[in-house]
């Protein structure tokens, strides 16, 4: 507790190697708060600065933290093909409003090995004309993979955009059996 009797926020982080490159995982006492693709030193430093600003405390590298242990285990199992669903506490504090509503629907309603169109997802949250806004929500997803924005595609069969890059999206969809594995 701090000097005012409040629970002080704690942010722990680590970088985990995966089949799509290094992922930065960050967690608070409330749950996993951020997953970041391509966690090079520069990306890591920028992410940690942003988390410190947004959450009001400096993140601490803690690869053995109990707050991260289960997230690491489940991410590794997912990439090994041994896990289809994530069962983790999530800290939604980096996102709010419509974007949070859409991401919560995505997390609970679009299962492993399936995809949904931007417009279809908009309709699921009662905003059938908000396909573009759903795209913005996907781009602001602080918890990719765990909240599976890679499963959102264009209604005409196109793959759509992806913050982790289209090759990463293709690999995730191939891992889940939606697309064939790349030949090289």
The answer to whether 53 and 4 are in contact (CB under 8 A) is no
Could you write out the three-class secondary structure of 43-98? HHHHHHHHHHHHHCCCCEECCCCHHHHHHHHHHHHHHCCCCCCCCCCECCCCCCHH
How many Cβ atoms sit within 10 Å of the Cβ of residue 43?
Answer: 15
- 92 contact partners, CB below 8 Å, separation of at least 6: 100, 103, 104
* Residue numbers annotated as active site: 149
Spatial contact of 12 and 55, defined as CB atoms under 8 Å apart = no
């Amino acid at each position: 507790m701090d000097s005012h009797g409040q629970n002080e926020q704690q942010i722990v982080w680590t970088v985990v190697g995966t089949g799509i490159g290094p992922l930065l995982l960050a967690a608070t006492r409330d749950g996993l708060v951020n997953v970041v693709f391509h966690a090079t030193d520069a990306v890591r430093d920028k992410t940690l600065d942003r988390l410190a600003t947004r959450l009001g405390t400096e993140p601490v590298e803690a690869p053995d933290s109990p707050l991260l242990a289960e997230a690491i285990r489940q991410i590794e199992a997912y990439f090994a093909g041994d896990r289809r669903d994530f069962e983790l506490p999530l800290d939604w504090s980096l996102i709010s409003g419509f974007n949070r509503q859409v991401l919560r629907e995505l997390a609970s309603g679009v299962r492993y090995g399936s995809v949904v169109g931007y417009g279809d997802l908009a309709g699921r949250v009662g905003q059938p004309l908000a396909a573009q806004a759903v795209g913005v929500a996907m781009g602001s997803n602080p918890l990719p993979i765990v909240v599976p924005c890679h499963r959102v595609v264009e209604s005409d069969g196109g793959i759509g955009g992806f913050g982790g890059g289209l090759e990463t999206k293709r690999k995730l969809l191939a891992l889940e059996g939606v697309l064939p594995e790349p030949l090289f």
